[in-house]
Each structure stands twice: as structure tokens, then as C-alpha cells.
Structure 1
Amino acid sequence: MYSEKIRLYEDREDVTLTTYVQNDANSLLGDYNRPAILICPGGGYMKCATQEAEPVAIRFAAMGYQAFVLRYSTYFSQDSNVTFPTAKEEIEIKEYCVFPNPMLEIGKAMLLIREHAREWKVDVDRITLCGFSAGAHNVAMYANSWNTNLVLDYLKTSSEHLRPVAVILGYMAGDYYFSKIDQIEVEKEMFFRVSYAAILGKQELTEEDIERMSPSRHVNRDTPPAFLWSTYEDRTVSVKNTIKMAEALANQHIPFDMHIFEEGPHGLSLATQESAKVKKQVNPDAAKWVELAEAWLQKRMALELPETI
């Protein structure tokens, strides 16, 4: 395996695609183009969480996928500290991270993977997107929009180059109505104010914003199949978001798998020591999502291997 970090913009260091690519030249399996997974970490659109990046990529690489991590535009740079303003301070708006920019960067990453498909041995018809929290929101927004004029006009390409075969959505923000309720319940007003400023360019949600930015309200017949998971105990992003997304997929007859685990806080990532920062982020029950997702993906992404060597 080799890893490389590539800038998506020549003049910016913060938006990158990191590769975790396997070379089969010396493998007993032979020289195959492999299915790929593009991972979008969470972080409230403020930063890209490290625990939802490389540990996840390495786990999927071990399953046989060519793995990639997209660090999309966020409010704070990756090497800066997250500092919240006081309630009286005005929050600066940074246009580069306002929607739809982070979503469009998924499309840019898809095109970059396609451009290097031969070099990276990627089967371009079998690319899955995987996101966590805000990253899952970003993935879901893209999943509903990959063939819209908004995306196609910006990327100047045809839709067949941009379609993901499936998406994995971990503890996603699926309906901003619940985010507005959560802001009151979990008393994280400044967290949400900065998060809204990052992705919306404003500090308060309107009903129009809720409608526009809730992926569960925009599921359509071209939305790819989805694997959803969350925990009942998540007090940052309510499990109701995942349930609402599942309902929307069912209404559009889009295949999906959903798993709700009872215990575990927000931000579990793999829910193992590989990704945990604190003890409560290790949860053997919730960690089963990886195995379940692998089995679900296998139905769509299995290598066409010979019967014998």
C-alpha cells in the first residue's frame, strides 16, 4: 500500500485527497482493479475529525478496497485549534466552506479518482461514499445531487462520472429540524452557531434553510442505496435523523440497511481502539457496524475472482 496527499486546489493546502492504495502486482490475487471507498470525516463542518479519517481508510483497505479520505472545506484549518466565540461576539463568515462548496468537493474527488483509475487500480463503476456526522450529511447531500445542474455545471462533466454506487452514513445529520431541537436540548448553542456559520453562512436556521439543507427531504429515485447506522444514546445528533433518512429512502423505494445500537456517544467512528480518543468511544456492540457494512457492500462490490488460481 502507498499513501499520497493531493491538493484539490493548487492555491489551498486544506482541501486534500489522501490515498490508501494497494498494488496487486506482487499479490497472489493478481492484478485487479478494486472497488473504492471515499471517506468524508465529520466535525460539524468546523474541522475534519482525524479519528474518522485514516483509521477508517485502513480498515476498508484491509477488506480489499482502494480507500481515499477527502478533507473538504471546513471553518477551521486542520492544524488550528477550534475556539468558539462568546455569545456576544460576531462569527466571521468564510465563504469557501459555505454550501455547496464542501459537497462539490466530493465531485472533484470523484473525478480525481477516475483520472488516476489506471494508476490506482480502481474500478470506477464501484465507488462507495462513506461519511460520519457532518461528513455523512455532506455525503447524503451529494448522493441526492450528483446528477443535478448545480453539480454538473460546476464540474463540467457528465453525470456518469460522478455517480456513487452506494453510500455509508454514520450518525448522520439527516434533517436540520432535529439539529434545531438538539441545540436547545444539549445546550451546545455556540457549537451549532459556528457550525451553521460554516455551512450556511449565517448563525440562525430559517425554515427555508431546514428544507434546503435536510438530505432526508431530497431523497429521489437517483439516490444510491445506503447503509445507515447510529446509536440511541447519541445526544449530539439525534438518532431520529437516521430514522428519518431511512423513511425517506423507503418512500422512494431505494434499498437500504439500517442499524441502531443502544449504547455509544456521538463520534464513535470504528468504535474500537483503532479510532478511540477516550474509553467511552470503544463499544464492541457498535463496532459491529463495520462487519455489517462489509457484508452489505459485498453484495454490490465483490471482486470477480477466478474459481481457482
Structure 2
Amino acid sequence: MALRFAAMGYHAFVLRYSTFMGGTFGFPDFQKEMEVNENCMHPTPMREIGKAILTIREHAEEWLVDVDKIAICGFSAGAHNCAMYSVYWDKPIIHEYFNGKPEMFKPAATILGYTLSDYLFMRSIPKSPIDQQLFEVSNLAFTGSKEPDEETLKEVSPVLHVSESTPPMFLWATSEDTLVPAQHTLRMAHALADKKIPYEVHIYEKGPHGLSLSAQATAQAKSQIYQDAARWIVEAEAWLEKRLALDLPELTQFELMEKDNKW
């Protein structure tokens, strides 16, 4: 994914934020009692986005970064983390923790792929036994409890905290996603619309959860390739060009040729 954004001409940074499994693949043994890992619990993951942005700002001149045009992008749990940061970046839980001014943490735009945005909704939808187990262990990993209380679920539901300071968002998901239903994306779009935050949303008909680019570059099998869903990255590129456009002069072709001494 980083290479795809780099191919567009953007600097691409990959954040390896703290997770329960420590970055390893697979799932924990559902039959064994899980121990709470405080290193990956809320609010650590979104604070690590803030730390990453501070690091980029610190090296902005060296790395040739426009600090006013830093966008964040995530998928699934990573999208939830980006959504959380997008609604909390200017709150004390971020800037006071780092003892910095809120504007130091501001993202210019956010891209969310098949995001989880509403834990209250997620709790209420019917689930298969395996999905219910996954939801419970995810809750434990993120909040420290398999059944978090109402207040905690509201706190970690970014859709409930969208405000006038939330950055513009590009949202996409698939209607066939059963793990994180598309309603999460639609709920986020609705919350953005209520606050008049610019957004663009795409719900593709076909495709399961976790498609990434939905192309051969990221697929592990043909079942992860859907041409319609693969259009999201092209749409996102066009959207980013509107949000992060370069300040280019208005020159005619004649003026350009004269400027380049090609006349």
C-alpha cells in the first residue's frame, strides 16, 4: 500500500503501532484465557499516530515534507485507529499527553478502508459463534474487557465524536463484508454530513473484508481480487489531488514552453 501511494508521488510512511499479537499473523487461541496487554490498549494506538506525526514534523525539512498536507490512511482495525485519531487529535488525550499544541497533531485528510466506527452498533448485530469470539477477544485486547461498559464503547466509537475539527475523509467498503459490515462506513459518512465535513464514500457490491488494493499486488488468492472494488485507489488518488493540490501557477502552453526555453 505504501508503494502504491509512493507511486502517486507522495511520501509514504508505515506506522507499526502496538497490537495485542505484536505484529505477528494469526489469531490467539480462543480456548485459552487471554491476559490483558496494557501496552496495546486504548488510547495507546491512536497516540502512536500522534507520535508519528510529531516525528515527521521534526524531520520535515530533511525529508521534504509539507506538514500542512499530512494525510493518514488505515484499513479495518487500522482504519478504526485512524478514525479515532481523526476525532481526538485536538483533544487533551492527545496533545496534553505529548505536552504540545493541538495544531501540531492536525491531519489534513483521512482515508478509511472497511473501518469499524461504531462499537455500540457492532455489539448489537447478530454474529456467528466464531465472529462473536473474535469480537470478544478484540474487545479484551483493545479495552481490557471482553464486555466493555457502555461508557467505554461510546468512547471508542469515533462516529460519536465527529466534530467541526474532524478532517475530510475518503471512505470505502463492500456490501458483502460480514466481519465489519458496511453500515460502519455509512454511519461515519452520516456523522460527517451532519457536521458538514467534506467526505467521499464508496460502497462496492462485491468483495469480502480485508481486500487492501483488491488486485494482484496485495492478493493472496483470486478470491481477493475484485475489479470494481479495485477502483477505490484510483478514486482516492483523485480525491487526494483535490485535498492536497500543489500550488501550481496558471500558465498557458506557450508560457510553459517559453519558461523551459523550448520555443
TM-score by length of 1: 0.78
Moved more, 166-175 or 77-86: 77-86
2:16 is the alignment partner of 1:84: no
Task: Check whether the contact 1:186–1:235 (CA below 8 A) recurs between aligned residues.
Answer: no
1:59 partner SS: helix
Q: Counterpart of 1:171? A: 114
Which of 177, 184, 189 lines up with 1:241 in the alignment? 184
Q: Deviations over 1:226-266 (max 9, x none)?
A: 00100000010010000110110011111100000000000
Which residue identity is paired with 2:46? M
AA aligned to 1:100 is P
1:63 paired residue among 1, 4, 8: 8
**Corresponding residue SS for 1:69:** coil
Instruction: Give the counterpart of 2:199 among 256, 259, 274.
Output: 256
Higher helix proportion: 2
Equivalent AA in structure 2 for residue 202 of structure 1? S
C-alpha separation in 2, matches of 1:294 and 1:234: 23
Q: Distance in 1 between matches of 2:173 and 2:125?
A: 16
The residue aligned with 1:10 is none
Q: Give the counterpart of 1:73 among 14, 18, 24.
A: 18
Once residues 259 and 154 of structure 1 are traced to their aligned partners in structure 2, the CA distance between those partners, rounded to angstroms, is 35
Is residue 181 of structure 1 aligned with residue 181 of structure 2? no
Q: Tell me, in whole angstroms, the C-alpha distance in 1 between the residues paired with 2:180 and 2:121.
A: 8
Structure 2 residue corresponding to 1:266, chosen from 188, 198, 209: 209
* In 2: Cα distance, 1:78 partner to 1:222 partner: 31
Q: 1:112 to 1:231 in 2, by over 3 A?
A: same
Q: Is the partner of 1:143 in helix, strand or coil?
A: helix
For the residues of structure 2 that align with 1:200 and 1:192, how far apart are their CA atoms?
Answer: 12
Corresponding residue number in structure 2 for 1:38: none
1:96, CA displacement in angstroms?
0.6
> Whose strand fraction is larger, Structure 1's or Structure 2's?
1
- Helix, strand or coil at the partner of 1:184: coil
Residue aligned with 1:188, SS: helix
Residue of structure 1 in register with 2:46 after alignment: 103
RMSD: 1.5
Tell me how far 1:157 sits from its aligned partner: 1.1
Report the residue type matching 2:179 in the other structure: T
Total equivalences in the alignment? 252
Tell whether the 8 Å contact from 1:186 to 1:236 is kept in structure 2 after alignment: no
The SS at the match of 2:184 is: helix
User: What one-letter code is carried by the residue in structure 1 that aligns with 2:224?
Assistant: Q
Larger Rg: 2
Residue type of the alignment partner of 1:65: Y
Unaligned runs of 5+ in 2: none
- Structure 1 regions of 5+ residues with no counterpart? 1-55
- Runs of 4+ more than 6 Å apart: none
Superimposed CA distance per residue, residues 97-122 of structure 1 (whole angstroms, 9 cap, x where no aligned partner):
00000010000000001111111111
Question: Is structure 2 residue 154 aligned with structure 1 residue 154?
Answer: no
CA distance in structure 2 between the partners assigned to 1:173 and 1:122 by the alignment = 30
TM-score, normalised to structure 2's length? 0.91
2-side partners of 1:176 and 1:219: how far apart?
15
Shift of 1:182: 4.6
Cα distance in 1, alignment partners of residues 26 and 212 from structure 2: 21
**Which residue of the partner structure matches residue 194 of structure 1?**
137
* Offset of residue 65 of structure 1: 0.4
Q: Out of 127, 152, 155, which is 1:209 matched to? A: 152
SS at match of 2:201: strand
Q: Of 79, 88, 94, which aligns to 1:145?
A: 88
